[in-house]
Structure 1
Amino acid sequence: MKKLTLQKRFTDLLSRFTNDTMLISFLWKSIESKYTEKHRTYHNLKHLEELFSYFDDYKTHLEQSDIVAFSIFYHDIIYNIWKKDNEEKSADFALEVLNTLLPELNLEIIKEQIIATKTHESEHLDSQYLIDFDLAILGQSSEVYQQYSKLIRTEYKLVPNLLYKQGRKKVLQHFIDKPFIYKTDSFIEKFEQQAKKNLQNELNQI
């Protein structure tokens, strides 16, 4: 099966909610513009593609796959390394542009899902899958993980080394100390052990 481009995927998704092709094009361009900002070396369009590869694999497990797709597209649309409210701002952005297209209940679900990618906690199955899609990179091979950690450091290149190391240690230890990084049985089985190993290896090298 031919892999969908992000633009085609977004267009197909929006077409289920509106016939306004100009609006769809405008909304896509805003996504493309945000995710191709120069400072993004990891949280970019490739990151979205990775999440959608897991989305495709687990789509049948999701209760509202279209809503999860919206959340994927918008979960990192605002990304500023100096701010701690990127997810909240991303959720606000999503609700603002989608408010004429989706019922209020769906908008609230999208907001909850995007915020869940910050807290890594949710009682809702779809949000748990989204959290796991977003954190799947942690459980990849050591080579892939090392490349990921380099890309994250590049995104934070303006942060002095000492400060970065202090912050990074906290993040790594936080995940290592969790009983489980992942929320769903499938991801725990597939990635948990490797993720803990990768995180510990990085921590040991800092």
Structure 2
Amino acid sequence: MPRTTQRETVRELLDEHGRTYAHEAGIRLRNTPQPLYRLLVLSVLLSARIRHSIAVDTARALYEAGLRDPRRMAEASWQERVDALGRGGYRRYDESTATQLGDGAELLRDEYKGDLRRMRDAADGDLAELRRLLRKVPGLGPVGADIFLREAQGVWPEAAPYLDAKALQGARRLGLPDSSKALARLVGEGDPAVFAAALVRVALEK
């Protein structure tokens, strides 16, 4: 039986797992303020040690509660945020996360007028600086910053190819190279964010 080539492995991977977490959460990602903010919130939620499906459901619940931009998130009461998190099933971390989301919204309003594109401009193409600025958002540590950039690379191309440790773990499980440049060559003109998310899903499979 002929061996499966790496490009065939990538095609099969994308056929089975080819969707971003933003897409799963109902976020039509564009380089505009609201979708970027919703991705930031999703990244905070995904950072916790909780099932990804719960984080995705909770991102949807926050959106349905109207907490879809920094102004609305900051102006909501702490209890309103707790209640929305609970409706999404995010109960283990609901109280601390409600505080983080409120503080993060205030930071974005104060420093970037609620627009993450201003943070991108402040980094001036320096990916390490952008990652540092993201990590200043409450609840968004190294893992959360990786999640955000992994998903945002489709609309912020200076981040691509962004394949963090979890994505590279998935690549190794599939027998693919664990070099970002080699993996980027394999995916070619495909969406790097979709490819990275698919690799992460493989890494998380039991």
TM-score, normalised relative to structure 1: 0.30
Larger helix proportion of the pair: 1
Larger RCO (alpha carbons 8 Å, 6+ apart) = 2
TM-score, normalised relative to structure 2: 0.30
